[in-house]
Structures are given as C-alpha cells and as structure tokens.
Amino acid sequence: MEWLRRLLLPVDQGSEFAKHIDNMYMAIFWLSVIMFFGLMVPMCYFAWRYRFKPGRVTPHQTHNTVMEIVWTVIPLLLCVGLFFWGIIGYMQFAVGPGESMEIQITAKQWLWQFEFPDGTRAVNELHIPVNKPVHLVMTSEDVLHDFFIPDMRVKRDVIPGRYTEYWFTPTTVGEHVSTCAEYCGKGHSDMKAKVFVDTPADFAKWMETGGDEWMHHTPEEWGRIQYEQKGCQSCHNVDGTRSKGPTWKGIWGKPVKLNNGTTVIVDEAYVRESMMQPGAKVVDGFENIMPTFQGLLRENEIRGLVAYIKSLQ
Amino acid sequence: MEHTLTSGNVTADRPRPAKNYLNETTGLWSWMSTVDHKRIGIMYLGAVSFAFLLGGIFALLVRLSLLNPQHTLFGKQWVTAEMYNRFFTLHGAIMVFLFIIPSIPASLANFVLPMMLGAKDVAFPRLNLTSFYLWVAGAALAIGSMVLGAVDTGWTFYTPYSTTTDGAVGLMTLAVFILGFSSIFTGLNFIATTHKLRAPGMGWFDMPLFVWGIYATGVIQILATPVLAITMVLLLIERVFQIGIFDSRIGGDPVLFQHFFWFYSHPAVYIMILPGMAIISEIIPTFSRKTIFGYRAIAYSSVSLALLSFIVWGHHLFVAGESDLANVIFSALTFLVAIPSGVKMFNWLTTMYKGNISFETPMLYAMAFLFLFAIGGLTGIFFATLAVDIHLTDTYFVVAHFHYVMMGGTVIAFLGGLHYWWPKMTGRMYSEKWGRVACALVFIGFNMTFGSQFIMGGQGMPRRYFNYLDQFQPIHAFSTYGSWVLGSGLFLTAIYLLASLKTGPLAPDSPWGGTTMEWESSSPPVVHNFEEQPVFEHEPYDYRHRTVTHV
Amino acid sequence: MSTHTEHADNPKAEAAKYLATLVVLLILTAITVGASYINFGSGNIVIALAIATVKAIIVGLIFMHLLHDKPVNAVIAVGGFVFLGIFLMFDFIDVGSRTNPQPINLHAPPAATAPAAAGAPAAGAGAAADTKKE
Amino acid sequence: MSTTTVDLHQDPHGHGGEHDPHHQHHFTTMEQQFDTSKIGMWLFLVTEVLTFGGLFAGFGLMQNKYPQEFVAAHEELKRWAGSTNTVVLLISSFTAVMAVLSARTNQGKKCAKYLWITVGFGAIFMCIKAYEYSADFAEGLFPGKFYSHHGDLIAGSHGYATFFSFYFMMTGLHGLHVLIGMGLMSWLAIRASRGEFSDKYYTPVDLVALFWHLVDMIWIYLFPLYYLIT
C-alpha cells in the first residue's frame, strides 16, 4: 500500500516523526474506509432492496435499545483509542528530547530568518545536520506565520510577541521545502524556505563558509538567486513596475530622489547601504518598511546582488 | 388522517382555498411590512439565495485563479495575489455569515417550524421581521465593505493582520456584528415558539425531529453569537483605540482573539449542520414511508451536539500556540462529537431498512447528504487526533473537510429541504426530471471539486495559497473543472425552480405523503396556516395506517 | 395569570420581603467594601467575587422572581452563566498552562516593525511590552 | 441593541376582538402570551450576559497579564463613587420590583411613581459616572493610544492603558444599558399613569424590570473588579 501513502501524503518521510504520522494517517484512513463502506453499502442495499412497491406495508420499528447502545459504545471505544495514540505522537513533537540543536526562527512579511546558537544567520535557507534533534524556537516580527515542513509533518504558528517551539529529527539527507501555513497577506504563498538536511561533514562546512554554491555561478546569476531566495522579490520588481519597494530595473547609475528631498546616484555604496541600513536613505514615495540585512547576507551574496542590479538595464 | 395518498397527482383531496398567504394581500408594501412567518421565510429565502449566488461567484473566481500556477487565462495573467486574497475572504465571509448561518433556520424553518407545531405564527412576529431587516442592513454593510476597499483578512479576521491591514475591515466587522443580532433574534424566536406554541396535546417528544434540530440550533445562536458580537466590537476598538487586547505590538494576545472567535465559530458550525441534519430526519422517513428509527436518540443527539459544540473550539488552535494541556483536553472533548453524529447516521440508515423507498429529488439529496456527510465526518477524526492534526491543519485537507460538512452537509440538506417543501411554499410542483439531473450534477461536481483537495492537503498544499508548486497543477485544474460542474448544477436548479412558479403543475396538500403537521395545511397555506387549529393526534412519523399505492 | 400572582395576594408581605432583600444587599455591599481595606492577599479577589455572586443570586431569586417563577426561566438563566463559565474556564486553562520558551541567545525584544501590508501608524507607548516575562 | 427586543414583544397589536386589546392573535390565552414573552426576555438576558461575558473574559485575562499595573491603575478610580453607585443601583432595583408589584396589584399611579423614582436613581448613577469620567479625562486617563497620564509606577507599561480601555468599555456599555433602561422606564411610567397596566396585563413592566435587574447584576460584578482589586 506504499503507492497509496505516496498519493495521500508527501512522498518524502524526512523524519521518524513523519513515519509515525503516516502510520497513524493510514490507520485512520483505513478505519474511515471501513466505516464509510459500512454505512454506504447498507444504504445502497436498502435503497435497492426496499425500493418502492405499491402497497408494501412498512413495519413500525421505533427503536432497539441493544443496537443503539452497541453503535454508541463501539465508536466511543475507537475514539478513546485514537485519542491516546494521538497524544503519544503529539508529545514527540511538543516535548523535546534531552539534547537538541536550537535554531531560532524569526518570521516577517515575507521571509524566514534563521539563527544558530553561535550567531550564524541565514535567510530562507535552513541547513540542519542529519539524525540530530532540532529544536525550533520561533517568533514573528509582524503578523502570524506558521513554519510548516510538509516532509517532516511538522508545523506550528509563529506568533509575534512570544516564542513557540517544536522538535523534530531529520533522518534523510536532501532538500525539502518549508512553507508558511498561516495566512499573512500578499506574499503568504511566496514565503517559502529551503530546508537542507546535510551530512555532518557538509553541515560543518556550511556553518564555516555558508556553502560553496556561489562559486558555480556568475555574480549576476548568483545575485538573481539571492533576489529570489532572500525575499527581495516580495517587495522589489525587476520589470520596471512599482511594488512595495522601488523596482531594480534601470536604476543603476541613475539619480533617485529621496524622501528628504536630496538626490543620490545608485552605485555600489548606495546599494550596500540600502541593504544594511534601509532606513538611512528612503526613496521618495515609499515607506520605510524594509528590514535590515546586516549579518544576513554574506559578502559574496552582496556582491552578487550588486552585480545583478547592475545587469538590469 | 387517513386520506388516500395520491402523491404527484394534481388532484388535492380538498378544494384549494381561494385566498392563501401569497394572495391575501398584494403589493410590495404588504411584503415589506409583513409579520407573517411564511412571507418572512420567503423573503429570507430570496435574500440568502442572493448571498449564495454572490458567494458562489467568488468561489468560482477563487477556483479560476488557481486553474494554473501562472494564473493565466488565454495566455494573460488576470489575477494578482491581492485580488485572490480578497476573493477568498469575501467568499468565506459571505458564505458563512450571509448564507449558511441564516440559510435553513431563517428561510425554511421560519416557514415550516410554526406549521409543524400547529401554530399560527412564531412567538414574536415583529422580532422576526426585525431579524430580516438586520440581515439586510448587515448585507448592505458587507457589500459596502467590498466596494469601499475590499477586505483581505480571511473570514476569520485573525489578529494582528486584521488590526493592521488596510481596507474596510471595520465595516466588515460591523456587518458581522449586525448579522449576529439577526441570527440571535431568529434563534430566540424559535426557542420561545417551541416552548409555548405547540399544538394542543403535543408534548416535547411528539414534535417532528426538524423542530428538535432547529431548537438545538437556537440554543447555540443564543449562547454563542453574543460572544462573536463582542469580539467584533473588541476588534474594531482595537483597530481604532489600540487598547492592547488582540494586537501583540501593544501587548495583546493574538491567540486570545482566536479563543474568542472560535468560541462562537465552532458552535457556528453546528448552527450550520444541525438544521441540515434536521431536514434529513424529515426526508428519510417520508420517502421510506416508515417511522423514524430511534426518535429519542436523534432528538437527544441534536441537543447533545449543541452542548458539546461549546467545549471543543480549542481544536482550531492545536498548532496556534495553545498550551499542551489545553490541546489534550480539547482533543479528548472533540472525539466526543463523533458519537452523536454517528448515532444519527445509524438511525437514518436503520429507518431505511424495510422501508418502501422512492427516489424523488429530496430523497436523492438526502442520500447524497449521507454519502457526503459520512466523508465529512470521518475526515474530522483526522483532526481530532492531535498528532495527525499537526500535519493536516491549515492545508487543503481542512478546506476539503469543512466543505464536505458545510456544503456536502448543510447546502445539500438545504437543497433537499427546499425541494421537499417547495410545493408547500409555492403551491407548485417543480420538474422532477430536471431536479434529478441537477442533483446528479451537484453531487458529481462537488466530489470533483473537493474530493481532490483531500489529496493536495495531505501532500502538504497549504490553504489560502495564491502561488503553488507546479506539482499540484493537475489536481488544482481538476478541482476547478469540478467547480464548473457544481456551478452548472446549481444554476440549473435555480432555473427549473423559478420556472415552476409559472409553469409547474399545482401541488397537492401533501405531495410526498408526509405525516407531520405542516402537510395538513393547504398548498400554499392560508394566512394563519390552518383553517382550524390542528390537534395532535398521532406521533410524527406514523405510517401504520397508511399504505401507499401510487407515487 | 393566577400562577404568577400567588404572592400578590398579600402585597404588603411581598413589599416587606423586597425591602428586607434590599437591606441584605446593602449590608453585603458594606461588607465587601470593608473587606477590601483588609489585606487577605489573593483572598481579597475571591472574597469580593464570592460576595458579588451571593448578591447576584439574591437579585436573581427575589427581584427577578426566579424563586417562584416557571422553572424554565431559571434553567435559561443558569444556562447562560454556565456557558459563560465554560468560556472563561477554558481561556484560563490555556493561558495559565502555556510554557514560555526563550531562545538561548535572546536578543533585545524583537523590534516591532509595522507589518509591511499596513499603512497603520506604529503603536504608541509600550511597543515592546509584550515580551515581558509572565 | 436591546431596545428593539424589549419593545418588540411588548406593545402588542390588538387582533383579539372581544379579547383584551393586548392579546395577540397567535396566542390562545393571555397567560401563554405572558409566559412566552418572559421566556423571550430571559433568552435575551442570556445574550446580554454572554456579551458582557466576553468583556469580563478579556478583563480577567489582561488582569492576569498585568497584575501590578491593574492594582496601581485602580487607585486612580474613586472608591466612594463606585460604592455610592452600587447603593444607588441596588435601591433602584428595589423600586423597580416595587413598580412591578404595584402594576400587578392594579395600582397604576403607584407603579408610575416607582418607575419615575427608578429613573431618578438611574439619573443619579449616570451623573456620578459622568463626574468620574470627566475627572479621569482631566488626568489624561483615556483608553488605548489616547492614554496620556503621567507618573505611573511602572513607567511605559501598556497595562495602564489596557486597564482604562477595559474600564471605559465595560462601564460605558453598562452606562448605555442604564440609559436604555431609563428610556424604557420613562415610557412605561407614562403608560402606567394612563392606567394601561393591571393584573391582567403588566408584561412590559415585568420585562423591563428584569432588564433593569440584569443591569444591576452586571454592576454588582463590575464594582469589586474595578474599584476593589488589591
């Protein structure tokens, strides 16, 4: 029945918890199938067997206490069983194992920011080592979000003003997607992050260098990838149209008017400053809503973005 | 009581009175100022049908937006994320607050509940009319909020998004507040009517089960809706004054809003489904020509569902930041809901056993209800189980589940009830042939639209998503095609029902051989329902002395 | 309407009963105000609410006639308070049993930036008060 | 929201012919009509309880969150004013129930007198409330973002503004109910002095008195929660 599980649930079972959930899901699924046919087969049979015949006399059956007790008690027992099974599974998710790696998640419209205990930070890209329990401690800077990793079968709301948490242990190396599962406005469906489950060696390497992928791209390409991954695209368009923030197309080397009345030329220094201190120079007609990327972008990523903006003529 | 049943024939067993509630007085003002529960029921029927049309248009737009991941029609992108967010918000808000909540109670029950009790009217006729005009005012405000900067919060108005977003959220919350009082007055009226206006000799356990269902609904309307009203006021005040209750930026607790909201909105689910179940409890014995099995069990299960509905709302918050202790308690209580729902299913099936079943349109809808509600109910078990809920909540699985209950349950039952009482309400028979065709279209279209969403949800497609992964494209497209089939079925229903008003054959007093008291009136009934006060003589579904020879 | 007016047979006695009820209510008010000046710790709120409940019950039974009225009205009244109690109880269960996890490297309270979707002005005083530890 | 219901099932239109002019056609007897109205009123009171209940829940949870701020903020309220208002409302409840008794025993004039006294106590209550509000506003004790009071013990906490937001919301909604009750009572007093009520028909007096007692009952809880918390 693996094909059925693959149809009804995500193909990847990225954690022990996912296998547990899948087993429960399939058990309830088959229970439901049995009960569904247990209801529908009699219905169809009665409909056919007792279809209208002129003059047929129907019996006056008002109740049958034994039967009614049976069909009250049996479902009740099933429910009690499922309830306890559900709690056992839930506790794996809500109560942590002894030792785990903590990752702090900060959500904002519309990007995910991850921070490791040593201060390493990343945006929309979460690297975790395989077979090591992960403890997510999450908060939001604006509205409700929800960090959902379908392949791990885990999700919990990310709430402004307080922290929420959950645990899971990834068991297979590979790339997964996490999505926002609590409606948060315009960019809700674009608020995705990549979850990379790495081998311990790869993970250690990533922690040191932030990965080596940038070496395989031209700076412009690398910049475009950052544009898509770090959440720039939720506020900046590259086709010349206005969004929450100004477009990037055709601005390089041109003067722009700021909201304090002065004018500035778009060059590398200005672009860098806008990423690190977005509030310092705000383009006229836009609100100061951009979060700072200080400490979130590596040097190679900043250079890529500068090159990408330069290429958008 | 032992008149021969000549179902389907135009020959009524007594002459039609010349004057009935439709033609006793005429003119627009005679309708607008009426306190006759039947006319108010008809006005409500028109009003909620309009809301259903409006909400349905938004539903089709939502589905059309998701036809392909590029959101293109004829090669051009036609919808943006902002528009999509408004579509689903308006679809949800209109369907829940303007359509489903008042649908069965305020239109069908308003018409038949007093007649089932042998009463001349509801307890407070003018309050009934007030309720209708409050609905109109609420609808006007809701539509006003669409025109004056639409709302994009989702129908749930979760804070802090709803306290900070632009748009006419204030107007929409005001609309919901007013609609709440419309609903309260309806419920209040039915409870008082049931208590005090039963026909001479009719005890509590002599009432038709429809009345039990509507009575239980009224209890929920009275107890839950005020909390919604005050929640909407608090939300409005939070937006204007920033008092710091729901908005976390100023010290509020967004999860508290969800508690307040779901303390109403979970019981509201039962405001929607209990009347649906109540209709099924009428249709099945009538078309099986057999007394209902387990009358008391069904009556008690209606009331116990109403009461249980108040202690399970926390299951909407399992992953929303509710404490583990509360999660466990709410999970346990949620499972209890399965029991009375199951009891009803078993009783309906047993009623069909050894019956004499014919398949006119209302019965087809009743069987569709059993099919769809079984799926809706069983998929609820997935959510009650804490661990599985973590994965499935906030995905399309939830969307599919509650549409199976709300649309597959309530709306299908509403359609069944509409066809069941249409001859009584209008005095005309509709086209049986087109009725069956439309029922089949609705049934197939519905399963295409929402059955497929169980698969998407399980695979991890979150709800309220504008941009989705390409892998879901075929299922989304299939679901959208299903929505067209469903829409065409409903459109067809509207056409033949309206056509029957002009061309339908005259209806007999009791076209289906129903045994409850409303069938003792003429079709359509006279102004005060009965020419003489009916007296309770036999239990509501007594077929012992009736042998049907002809359909 | 004789069933409801059984006590009106003797309006004087009825009036005296109402007056006595008023006196009891006033005495209870005096007690509750007096008790608030004495420090019972967390007992104060319990005492105040207990006395308020006694007063509310007296008003319901005597002034609102529930004692001699048809039972259905009393059932309705009690039902309202029971369901209010359910609402309060579960809210407090949740809020009272929440754990408050804190990350290891806790920064300054998250700066509450205005959500990008909003043109709404940022909150006034105490924007960061929500991170106060319970 | 309350006026409509209270009015609606009172003032019945006469269809009865030889019957009591207040008898509505769809009731068999006046007693049935009276009982029905009473059930309707009690159901309406339940909705009132739950409406206020939402505010009480919010207040309780916020009190739980800001215990110190709430105690500190309540010092700004005048305990004598709250106590006086409690006494005023309790006495008005007594006069309201006396009005019902008078109506029921065919003493129309006395009923009108008691109703006017009740209205008078309501007015005293509202005057004291207005005095309290104006004193609060003078000190900058406004709800929500308009809060501009200086010298709070825990500087910068939003708890103070939250306390006063709830204070104004709950006492404001309560005050609105008092005003509605006063309006209804005045209208009934006029009808009573015209001799409209008797032991055969006194439903409106009975129902409005029920409404008034509920308003009193809510104040019985508001008073210790706002004026006496320590």
Q: Which residues, other chains included, contact B414 with Cβ-Cβ below 8 Å and sequence gap of 6+?
A: B103, B104, B108, B276, B279
CATH number of the CATH domain containing A13: 1.10.287.90
Mean pLDDT over C60-87 rounds to: 94
Q: Which two tokens stand for residue B348?
A: 């309906």
Q: Is D195 touching C (CB cutoff 8 A)?
A: no
Q: Domain tally for chain B?
A: 1
Residues in chain A: 313
What is the DSSP track for D30-62? HHHHHHHHHHHHHHHHHHHHHHHHHHHHHHHHH
- Please, which residues have CB within 8 angstroms of residue D213's CB and are 6 or more apart in sequence? C59, C60, C63, C64, D93, D96, D97
Residues 6+ apart with CB under 8 A from B164: A142, A143, B247, B249, C114, C115, C117, C118, C120
Whether residues C94 and C60 share a domain: the answer is no
Q: For residues B213 and B302, is the Cβ–Cβ distance under 8 A?
A: yes
Sequential DSSP letters for B372-395: HHHHHHHHHHHHHSHHHHHHHTTB
Asked whether C8 and D97 are in contact (CB, 8 A), the reply is no
Half-sphere exposure of B267 (CA within 13 A, CB side): 27
Confidence label for D22 from pLDDT (cuts 50, 70 and 90): confident
Helix (H, G, I), strand (E, B) or coil at A115: strand
How far apart CA D111 and CA D113 sit, in angstroms, is 5
Residue C128 pLDDT > 80, yes or no?
no
Cα separation, A80 vs A271, whole angstroms: 60
Residue C124 to residue B325, Cβ atoms within 8 A: no
Question: Which of B195, B224, B243 minimises the CB distance to D143?
Answer: B243
pLDDT, mean over chain C: 77
Taking CA atoms, A68 is separated from A46, A204, B340, in Å, by: 19, 63, 11
Of A199, A251, A224, A232, give the one whose Cα is nearest residue A307.
A224
Beta carbons of B280 and B413 less than 8 angstroms apart: yes
Please tell me whether residues A221 and A300 are part of one structural domain: yes
Determine the residue of chain B that is closest to C97 in CA distance: B323
* B209-241 vs B295-308: helix crossing angle, rounded to 10: 10
- The pLDDT value given to residue A37: 96
C44 plus C12 within the same structural domain: yes
Peptide bond between residue B524 and the one before it cis (omega within 30 degrees of 0) = yes
Contact in structure between B9 and B508 (CB atoms under 8 Å): yes
**Strand-pair partners of A106:** A113, A139
Q: How close C81 comes to chain D (CA, Å)?
A: 7
What one-letter code names the amino acid at B400?
Answer: A
- N residues, chain D: 230
Please indicate, yes or no, if residue C60 is contained in any of the structural domains: yes
C38 shares a domain with C13? yes
CA distances from A161 to A144, B157, C128 (A): 10, 19, 8
| pLDDT for the residue B365 | 97
Q: How far does Cα B293 stand from its chain's mean position?
A: 24
D199 alpha carbon, distance to own chain's centre: 26
Interface check for D153 against chain C (CB to CB < 8 A): the answer is no
Name the minimum distance, in Å, from the CA of D119 to any CA of chain B: 26
Residues in chain C: 134
Residues C6 and C58 in one domain: yes
Chain D residues touching residue B244 (CB < 8 angstroms)? 62, 144, 158, 161-162, 165
Q: Which residues pair with A127 in a beta bridge?
A: A196
What CATH number does residue B335 fall under? 1.20.210.10
Q: Compute the nearest-CA separation of D145 from chain B (Å).
A: 6
Nearest to D39 among B125, B196, B245 (CB): B196
**β-pair partners for B428:** B506
Nearest chain D residue to B119 by CA distance is D26
How many angstroms away from the CA of C95 is the closest CA of chain B? 7
Minimum mean pLDDT among B253-262, C31-40, D76-85: which range? C31-40
| A195 phi and psi angles, rounded to 5 deg | -110, 115
Distance CA D2, CA A312 (A): 64
Contact C126 D217 (CB under 8 A): no
Q: Which residues of D touch B (CB under 8 A)?
A: 1, 4-5, 8-9, 25-27, 32, 35-36, 39-40, 43-44, 46-55, 57-58, 61-62, 65-66, 143-146, 158-159, 161-162, 165-166, 169
Residue D111 gets the label, from left (phi > 0), alpha (psi -120 to 50) or beta, of alpha
**Between A240 and B79, where is the model more confident?**
B79
Give me the interface pTM, i.e. the ipTM: 0.88
What whole-number distance in Å separates Cα of residue C107 and Cα of residue A295? 14
In a domain, C133, yes or no: no
Distance (Å, rounded) from C-alpha C132 to C-alpha D67? 12
Cβ neighbours of A117 (radius 10 Å): 12
Q: Which of C101, C111, C116 sits opposite A289 (nearest CB)?
A: C116
Using CB atoms, pick whichever of B127, B196, B230 lies closest to residue D5. Answer: B127
Distance of CA B65 to the CA centre of its chain: 26
Strand A174-180 vs strand A193-198: parallel, antiparallel, or unpaired? antiparallel
Answer yes or no: is B528 within a domain: no
What are the distances in angstroms from CA A121 to CA A127, A161, A191, A205, A297? 10, 21, 18, 14, 8
d(CA A214, CA B488) in angstroms, rounded, equals 53
In this complex, whether D and A touch, counting 3 or more CB pairs under 8 angstroms, is no
As a whole number, the mean pLDDT across chain D is 88
> What local confidence, expressed as pLDDT, does residue A127 receive?
92
In percent, the amount of chain D with pLDDT more than 90 equals: 67
Q: How many domains does chain C have?
A: 2
Residue C124 predicted with pLDDT over 60: no
Q: Would the pLDDT of D92 be above 90? A: yes
- Which of B163, B164, B215 would best serve as a mutation to test chain C binding (most C beta carbons within 10 A)? B164
- Residue A137's domain is classified under what CATH number? 2.60.40.420
B538 belongs to a structural domain: no
Rounded distance, CA B354 to CA A60, Å?
10
pLDDT band for C3, please (50, 70, 90 cuts).
very low
Q: Looking at the structure, do residues C78 and C31 belong to the same domain, yes or no?
A: no
Residue C130 lies in a domain: no
Whether residue B540 lies inside any domain: the answer is no
Provide DSSP, A261-299. S-EEE--HHHHHHHHH-TTTS-BTTS-S-PPP-TTTS-H
Taking the Cβ of residue A163 and every Cβ of chain C, the question of whether any pair is shorter than 8 Å is answered with yes
Q: Provide the angle, in degrees to the nearest 10, between the axes of the packed helices B295-308 and B324-352.
A: 160
The verdict on residue C129 lying in a domain is no
Q: Which residues of chain B have pLDDT under 70?
A: 1-13, 547-551
**% chain A with pLDDT above 70:** 98
Domains of chain D: 2-227 (1.20.120.80)
Residues of B in contact with D70 (CB under 8 A): none
Burial bucket for residue A208 (CB in 10 Å: 0-12, 13-18, 19+): exposed
Give me the pLDDT at residue D174, please. Answer: 97
Which residue segment(s) compose the domain that A88 sits in? 2-52+60-94
pLDDT digits (tens, 9 = 90+) for A173-228: 999 999 999 999 999 999 999 999 999 998 988 887 776 667 778 888 888 888 88
Q: Which of B13 and A276 is assigned the larger pLDDT? A: A276
Q: How far is B200 from chain C (nearest CA, A)?
A: 19
Which of D49, D77, D90, D149 would best serve as a mutation to test chain C binding (most C beta carbons within 10 A)?
D90
Tens digit of each residue's pLDDT (9 = 90 or more) over A110-127 = 899 898 877 677 888 899
* CB atoms closer than 10 angstroms to residue C100: 11
Structure tokens at D125: 């209550």
| B contacts of A75 (beta carbons < 8 Å) | 338-339, 342
Q: State mean pLDDT over A69-77.
A: 93
Which residue(s) pair with A146 in the sheet? A157
Count of Cβ atoms closer than 10 Å to residue A131 Cβ: 14
Question: In one letter, which amino acid is D75?
Answer: E
Q: How far apart are CA D182 and CA D179, in angstroms?
A: 5
Residue A282 sits in a domain whose CATH number is 1.10.760.10
Distance from CA of C127 to the nearest CA of A (A): 10
Please state the rounded mean pLDDT for residues A246-270: 88
Indicate whether C54 and C78 sit together in one domain. no
d(CA B526, CA D10): 26
Query: What's the pLDDT at B543?
Result: 87
Q: Is the pLDDT of residue D126 over 50?
A: yes
Residue-range definition of the domain harbouring residue C89: 70-98
Please answer yes or no on whether B251 and D162 come within 8 Å at the CB atom.
yes
Q: Classify A194 as helix, strand or coil.
A: strand
Angle between helices B254-288 and C71-96 in degrees, nearest 10:
130
Question: What is d(CA B242, CA B250) in angstroms, rounded to the nearest whole number?
Answer: 7
The alpha carbon of residue C97 is apart from the nearest alpha carbon of chain A, in Å, by: 14
Does residue A190 belong to the interface with chain C, where contact is any CB pair within 8 Å? no
H/E stretch holding D163 reads helix D159-193
Contact A96, A136 (CB under 8 A): no
Alpha helices in C1-128 (DSSP H): 11-36, 43-58, 71-96
A205 & A106 share domain: yes
Instruction: Give the residue numbers spanning the domain of B32.
Output: 28-520
SS3 sequence of A25-55: HHHHHHHHHHHHHHHHHHHHHHHHHCECCCC
CA distances to A26, B322, B341, B399, B454 from B382, rounded to whole Å, are: 10, 19, 15, 13, 11
Tens of pLDDT, residue by residue over A39-65, are 999 999 999 999 999 888 889 999 899
Asked if residue B8 belongs to a domain, the reply is no
pLDDT at D57 over 80: yes
